[in-house]
Amino acid sequence: MRRIIYRSLASPDLDRAEMFRLLYQARVANEAKGLTGVLLRADDHMLQLLEGETWKLVATFETIRRDPRHRHVEVIDERSIAQATYPACPMRYFDSLHIAEALKFLNEQTQGHVPRPIEDAVRGFFADAFADADGVSPLLFEAARPSSARPC
C-alpha cells in the first residue's frame, strides 16, 4: 500500500460547481478502486492525500497529474504505508471555510497521531495558503486537539 501527498493550484475554471462535480466523480471512482484520502482547498491552493493499493494509486495519480483542472502539481511526499490513514473516506473534502473541521477530522481519525508527513504537508499548505496569517500555522494541530485550551 502507498500514499501520495501532492499540492497543486486550481485552474480558474475549477469553480465551486465544477469542484463538486469533480469530487463526486472522484469518490465514485475511488470507491471502485479502494482508494481513500482527503482533499483540502484554500482559494486556489489544493492539497490532496491519496492512499491505496500501489498500482491503482500510481495509475490514478498519473491521470490526476495530467488533469487540466489544476496545474503546478508537486508531489510533497510519497511512501509505502502499512495501512490507510483515513480508510473510511473515498475523498473527504474541506474548503477554506472549514479549516477547523479539517484539522479536527485529521486529528480525530488518527486519535491525535497525525503521521508526520501529513502534518508537515498540511502545515506547509496552510502557511502558504494564508501567508499573511503569521504565527497561526505552527499551532494549527495543537489548537485542533480536543485537550487544548480554546483560543477564545
Written as nine digits, the cell of 15 is 469553480
Assess 64 for contact with ligand FMN (CB under 6 A).
yes
- The CA–CA distances, whole Å, from 6 to 64, 101, 124, 144, 148 equal 10, 21, 11, 23, 29
- Given 46, 47, 99, 118, the residue binding ligand FMN (CB under 6 A): 46
# chain residues binding ligand FMN, by CB under 6 A: 14
Q: In the complex with ligand FMN, which residue's Cβ is closer, 60 or 107? A: 60
Residue with C-alpha cell 477547523?
100
- Which parts of 92-151 interact with ligand FMN (CB under 6 A)? none
Q: Report how far residue 150's alpha carbon sits from residue 76's, in angstroms, rounded to the nearest whole number.
A: 31
Find the shortest distance in angstroms from Cβ 148 to ligand FMN: 31
Single out the residue of 105, 85, 103 nearest to residue 142, CA to CA: 103
Q: Which one of 61-69, 98-106, 116-124, 142-150 is the stretch in contact with ligand FMN (CB under 6 A)? A: 61-69
Assess 36 for contact with ligand FMN (CB under 6 A).
no
